[in-house]
Structure 1
Amino acid sequence: MAFSLVAKQAVKKLKEIACIQLLEPIMKIDINIPSEHIGSVIGDLNRRRGQVIEQNNEPQRAVLKAQAPLAEMFGYIGCLRALTAGRGQFTMSFSHYEAVPKMLVTNIIGDKK
């Protein structure tokens, strides 16, 4: 028990000194949807901390290229299908790692300063 307490204090002190960052995987997302649903899909991506990188509008369809954290993308297919009446499709692949926003880090590790 004493060792556990000392180890926690040492890690906390090391975190302050070393400026440790928590990283999360960012996914590249290609979304193919009917044009009339662009607004609701972009709004949902924003809610998921996503960023639209490129938007190509065709007569009846729209193709969005975006990036979003993997943690926010679980269950996305069901949400996309609900937003587009079952006509939306997407593909997702790993892009890179990014630092987790500080507000979320405190929620993840439970560190209250």
Structure 2
Amino acid sequence: MTGGIMTTRKTVVDRSGKFDYTLKKQGGGPGQYARVIGQLEACDELFIFENRVVGGAIPSKFISACEQGFRDAANSGILAGYPVIGVKVILESGDYHPVDSNDYAFRFAANQAFYQALETSDPVIIEPVMLLTVEVPSKFIGVVQSDLLSLRAVLTGLEYVDNSVILVSQVPLAQMFGYATRLRSLCSGGGQFSMSFSHYQPVPKAVEQKLIAGASK
């Protein structure tokens, strides 16, 4: 099997989402206060943070804590724990308290604000899809093709070469673990394959629901 880009499932957003989150804790000891306002939207890079705060609504010394809070949330994800990629966070405004505001408060507020915005931005789990080439003796084409379809593969090419057949397909990486053993069993040891990374695509809704349900247990 040739090497490919070994990637994992991720989360992306379909549309922009707004956030306005306030952390306000007061008790017998020191309080915690921070407010962050802004939005997130899809972008072509893994993660972008843009600071648009003006007028000292959030003191500059707390901006880096806000960015870290957003990054923490993006790395943790919201759907089954898969990290969020391709997202731009725009911090537009906020509020602070001269005594109760600190780095921790703004980092926590930003973290929760990210999740708040994701609730309205239609997050979707995407998965890596591999370009798979399988070569088997022609007498095994039926059983191998049926097996590929059971793995959610999309067949894109078929070529006969002497007594062998080459099948080309796109198949989710999650379905490929243990495929070498599987193919040997199907072809009595007479098959071989190679694969490389092709692209990402949204997982089917039924699969997504199972992933979320499994992560919540």
Note whether the superposition's TM-score is higher than 0.5.
yes
The alpha-carbon deviation at position 16 of structure 1 amounts to 4.5
1:94 and 2:200 correspond: no
Q: Which of 178, 183, 207 does residue 104 from structure 1 map onto? A: 207
Residue identity opposite 2:147 in structure 1: D
Residue identity opposite 2:188 in structure 1: A
| Bigger Rg, structure 1 or 2 | 2
Structure 1 stretches (4+) deviating beyond 6 angstroms? none
* Structure 1 residue runs without a partner (length 5+): 1-6
- Structure-2 residue corresponding to 1:29: 132
- Which deviates further from its counterpart, 21-30 or 56-65? 56-65
Greater length-normalized contact order (CA 8 Å, ≥ 6 residues apart) = 1
How many equivalent pairs are there? 104
Q: Which of 77, 85, 95 does residue 180 from structure 2 map onto? A: 77
Q: Secondary structure at the match of 2:189?
A: coil
* Structure 2 residue runs without a partner (length 5+): 1-110
Higher share of residues assigned helix: 1
TM-score, normalised to structure 2's length?
A: 0.45
Aligned sequence identity (%) = 37
Describe the shift of the 1:87–1:29 C-alpha distance in structure 2 as closer, same or farther (beyond 3 A): same
- Structure-2 residue corresponding to 1:3: none
The alpha-carbon deviation at position 17 of structure 1 amounts to 1.5
TM-score, normalised to structure 1's length?
A: 0.84
